Amino acid sequence: MKLIKTRIEGVLVLEPTVHSDGRGFFFESYNKRSFERIAGINREFVQDNQSHSIKGVLRGLHYQIDHPQGKLVRAVSGAVYDVAVDIRRSSPTFGQWVGVELSEENRRFAWIPEGFAHGFLVLSETADVQYKVTDYYAPASERSIVWNDPTVGIDWPRSDGPIVSSRDMAAPRLEKAELFA
């Protein structure tokens, strides 16, 4: 597995070693020892989630305040632009974001640690996104930041308007959101 560091400490991109031949391919989608040894990710994953979305759907920016989740994200099919926003007030990169394309072709994973809001935009006709999380879903703890907050300034790779849920459209801006210390 190849480790790619991003401009925000702790947010990582991982490329698995893929074994291909005329029959297809094989790779380890998760190996606790490898993730710990290569990327320093030593977390217990307690829940796996999967979503299916059509082109132009934007999900996010989501996080849980009392039950923060680290997320190991990948696109099983299709392609997405995956984004993490640092929402730790005490962090030197508070309010900054990093984005990476995850696709079935590049087979990359994004590691988004606790303390970050997460979202993605579907670039392909459809996409299936799968992610492992370090804490259980806790509806009372769920929070969001609006996807187009100008103070965050995410450069989403699409010029026309995305398809966004009414809940995500009504999310507060970073300055009004309940955040981590």
Domains of the chain (ranges plus CATH)?
Answer: 44-176 (2.60.120.10)
| Active-site choice (52, 67, 131, 137) | 131
Percent of the chain topping pLDDT 90: 96
pLDDT class for 180, splitting at 50, 70, 90? confident
131 carries an active-site annotation: yes
pLDDT class for 159, splitting at 50, 70, 90? low
The whole-number pLDDT of residue 58 equals 97
Q: What is the mean pLDDT of the segment spanning 157-173?
A: 92
Q: What is the mean pLDDT of the segment spanning 41-49?
A: 96
Q: What's the chain look like in SS3?
A: CEEEECCCCCCEEEECCCEEECCEEECCCCCHHHHHHHHCCCCCCCEEEEEEEECCEEEEEEEECCCCCCEEEEEEECEEEEEEEECECCCCCCCCEEEEEEECCCCCEEEECCCEEEEEEECCCEEEEEEEECCCCCHHHEEECCCCCCCCCCCCCCCCCCECCHHHHCCCCHHHCCCEC
| Active-site choice (62, 67, 81, 136) | 62
Q: Is the pLDDT of residue 158 over 80?
A: no
- Entry pTM: 0.95
Q: What is the mean pLDDT of the segment spanning 23-36?
A: 92
